[in-house]
Structure 1
Amino acid sequence: MQARMPGCYRWIVRTSPIRHMRQMSDMRTTIDGVRPMAKRYRAAVRAMNVTLERSRTALLAEIGEWRRALATVNDTGLLEPSGCPGWARLEVVVHVRAGLQELLACFTAGTALAPDRDAATYWLEFAPGGGGGTVEGTMWLRRTSSAYARPSGAVRHLADVLDQTEHALGGLQDATVRFQGHVLSTGDLIATWAVELHLHRLDLLVPYAEASDAAMLARETIEVLADGSAPAANLVAAERFLLIGSGRVEPTADERQALGGIAARLPVFG
């Protein structure tokens, strides 16, 4: 069975031509450009609000880890498979770069509207079975990645965007902003990106620090969306829990038993 992927597709699906046409249709029934929550996502999920200081600290640390990770891969290594089924490491790099550029663009999109998503409910639209053009998205990503003369060109491009993101985070204030048709606090929005970057760093298949702030945010997000608490770390290792909870791997029989009731509600991303 092929693993189901989380944020691997969140930026691509949002910006594909097919998705764009759907969004334009949705806009006819929105107020101030903010889409209402789709009925299939009205299931109760407890709130997860993250302070800007916590999420900023996590994302800044994750940016540093990305720099260290990128320094360990060469052109040949970037062409090898990643943790995202069907994606090379190069495609993960390009995906992250494009997503961070979208994030940077929203920092000036402030609004007086109340948030309609938080650090957990943002991910509801990427729940398993929630739809999305994964094949189309992968093809777009491959075409975009092939535009670089060498894979290292994509790394340099991402390095520039990481610098820009780091700089922008330093001056970011508590506010509400528009992002992908929703409104989030800056703290919650940045938290989703700390989670996204951490999971994609796993996809690069290089060593990482399990106890990082971003890893803890990812664990909390998965627990909130699954409406439960993960077992003690000695029952299911931290990295394995993130991989299972984000749909990257299937749990073993022993892991299912250790996870208990929460196992049936994983993965929470799709």
Structure 2
Amino acid sequence: MSLFALTWAALRTAVASVPLESFARPSGCAGWLVRDLVCHLVIDAQDVLITLATPSDASPTRDAATYWEVTATPPTGDDPLDALIVRLAAAYEDPALLKFHLDDVGSAAGRAASLATLEARVSTREQILTVGDYLEAYVMEWTLHHLDLIAHLPSVAGPPADGLARSRELLEQIAGVPFPASFSDADTLLVGTGRRTPTGAEKVSLDGLAAKLPLVLG
């Protein structure tokens, strides 16, 4: 819970610090501008609220690592849902409204998470998780999207070190093997999820793991 709160607060603070004119700049998500990414975060916050309000008595079917559906195809922005996000973001017109909406819904999601019982079970995407595992999965969601936010905004603060470290651990669980120790946590996440192409030297370090990449999380 503490990492969920830490990473979510850091991401919302980073969005709040982005100049309005920078909402029209590219993000680290293919096909999305910063405004599109922030609109997606509003939807994410709504998903957190919906999931925490959807209890289940069934046994868990997923945990924080297996929550993710993994493919090898990076998004292009052409997916119908991705395209819908772009249209929704454009409808805001004034980026200040997006900031306000994220702060409003995002704060509510944070409060709901702080009040939740970690051992309770919830249903989402036709799967059952404990609240603790669900919130831990979102540590990776917040951390990856924080990296997306700052991809072309070097003046904006990056994600917390603890969130980066835990997200790396989750990605290594998904991969089934550790990434090279020479990779920073941020580079592990960027290269591992296909957000950045590995350099020649990095490919050598990755060795057999390179054939498994990218691990595109959905």
Is TM more than 0.5 here?
yes
1:44-123 equivalent positions in 2, closer than 5 A: 56-123=1-68
> Quick one: which of 101, 116, 134 aligns to 1:157?
101
Contact 1:236 1:259 in 2 (8 A): no
Equivalent residues of 1:116, 1:184 under 8 A apart: yes
Distance 1:88 1:171, change over 3 A: same
Q: Which runs of 4+ in 1 moved over 3 A?
A: 129-134
Q: How many residues align?
A: 211
SS in 1 for 2:195: coil
Q: Give 2:209's aligned residue.
A: 262
> Structure 1 residues 113, 87: CA separation in 2 closer, same or farther (over 3 Å shift)?
same
TM-score (norm 2): 0.89
Deviation at 1:68, TM superposition (A): 2.5
Aligned to 1:3: none
Contact kept, 8 Å, 2:27 with 2:149, in 1: the verdict is: yes
Aligned to 2:158: 208
Query: In structure 2, what is the Cα distance between the partners aligned to 1:210 and 1:109?
Result: 29
Deviates more, 1:79-88 or 1:138-147: 138-147
The SS at the match of 2:28 is: coil
Q: Percent identity?
A: 31
Residue 148 and residue 177 in structure 1: after superposition, are their counterparts in 2 closer, same or farther (change >3 A)? same
Contact 1:79 1:151 in 2 (8 A): no
- Is contact 1:97–1:157 with CA below 8 Å preserved after alignment? yes
| Partner residue of 2:197 out of 250, 253, 257 | 250
Give 1:231's aligned residue: 180
Unaligned runs of 5+ residues in structure 1 are 1-55
Larger radius of gyration: 1
Backbone CA RMSD of aligned residues: 2.0
Determine if contact 2:74/2:194 at 8 Å carries over to the other structure: no
- Normalised by the length of structure 1, the TM-score is 0.73
1:149 positional shift: 3.1
Distance verdict in 2 for CA 1:132–1:252, change over 3 Å: closer
CA distance in 2, matches of 1:190, 1:250: 29
